[in-house]
Every structure is written in structure tokens, then in C-alpha cells.
Amino acid sequence: DGKMLSSFQSLVKPERDVASMKEIVTYITGFTLESFATAPSLQSLADQVLPYFGDDVILVGHNISFDIQFVEKYFGKIPYNASIDTFPLTQCLVHFAPSYALDVLSEYLQKFQRFGDYWKMHHMSDEKKFHDALYDCICAAVVFLYCVDYVQELARYFPVLQHVSTQVDDIFVSISIVA
């Protein structure tokens, strides 16, 4: 039904000196460099991160290969069944978007009632927090739900798509959104 069952978010203390980080990090994320200095180390977070993965999990994200590479760089090979990238999915289903970057795409899709309903269901505020990991995960989830709903609507008009729609319904049980 598209509801978020659980989430986890944490800043991570960089392995290098925080002072060497560029101010661009603050500009892009809104996080101050000082907030990273007191954050937990990446290794101390493994017990909280790794339960979100498993052989029955399907990862969904916007440009998901980047996220998988990032997680595997720091946590090693992670188990998952499959991945779904909303970037090429939206390129196929969302026509005339000014950009397929997650932030631009999410703002563009808000003009559609169905997307707006999912946006509100996930308590997304008007305060934009793009490049915040949890916010981006929820945006990717909302984009995915919108695309699934759109494919299901198309299947009503084009019966050959009903097979795709049925497969999507079957995988909803074990989807993790990663960003």
C-alpha cells in the first residue's frame, strides 16, 4: 500500500579531517561541517544499516547504481534480490519533464494529483531537503509509487501490460528504497 514501515538516517563522521571538507557540502546538503565532526563512524552504524538488506529485498532508488556502489564500498557486498532504478523508469513514463534529476522531477510531478497524493501520504513538506539521504529515499519511493500506479493505469487501457502490473504487485512486499 506504499506506506513506509521503517527508516534509518544518520550523519557519518568522515575518515579524513572535517576541516578539509569543502563548504560545498554545507551548500548542497544544508549540514554544517561541525555536525559531521560529532557524528558516529561508518563502522559503528553497520548494525543499524545492514538489516535493510537481504536476499529477498528489491532495492529501489533514483540512479540506484551509485547508491549501491557507495554502500558496498563501505559495508562490503550487500545481499539483495534485484534493483529498480527510477531514473530510466521515469525517462520512459514521464514525458516532457524539464530534467530527470530527482529534485527537478519531484517538483515537476507535484502538478499531478496522483503524485501529490503520494507526496502528502509520506508527509513530504514544502521544505525541500534534496541531497539529504532520507529525504531523497522518500522522494525516490514516491516517484516509484507514482510510476507503478501509472503503469497499472496504462494496463487498464492496454491489457498486455497487466502481466507487468501483476509482477509489480508481487514484489511490493520486499522493497527497500535506497538513496
pLDDT tens profile 34-76: 888 888 988 898 889 899 899 988 899 999 999 899 889 888 8
**Residue 177 carries which DSSP code?**
E
- Residue that has been written with the C-alpha cell 501529490 in this structure: 116
Distance CA 177, CA 52 (A): 9
Q: What phi, psi does 164 have (nearest 5°)? A: -65, -45
What is the DSSP code string of 93-144?
Answer: H-TT-S--SHHHHHHHHTTSHHHHHHHHHTT--SS--TT-HHHHHHHHHHHH
Sign of CA dihedral 6, 175, 126, 22: positive
Give burial (CB, 10 Å; 0-12/13-18/19+) of 138.
buried
pLDDT in tens, 101-160: 998 999 899 888 888 888 877 766 656 665 678 888 888 988 999 998 888 888 888 877
Give burial (CB, 10 Å; 0-12/13-18/19+) of 22.
exposed
pLDDT of 89 higher than 70? yes
- pLDDT, residue 179, reads 44
Q: Quick one: residue 63, left, alpha or beta (phi over 0 = left, psi -120 to 50 = alpha)?
A: left
Prediction pTM value: 0.79
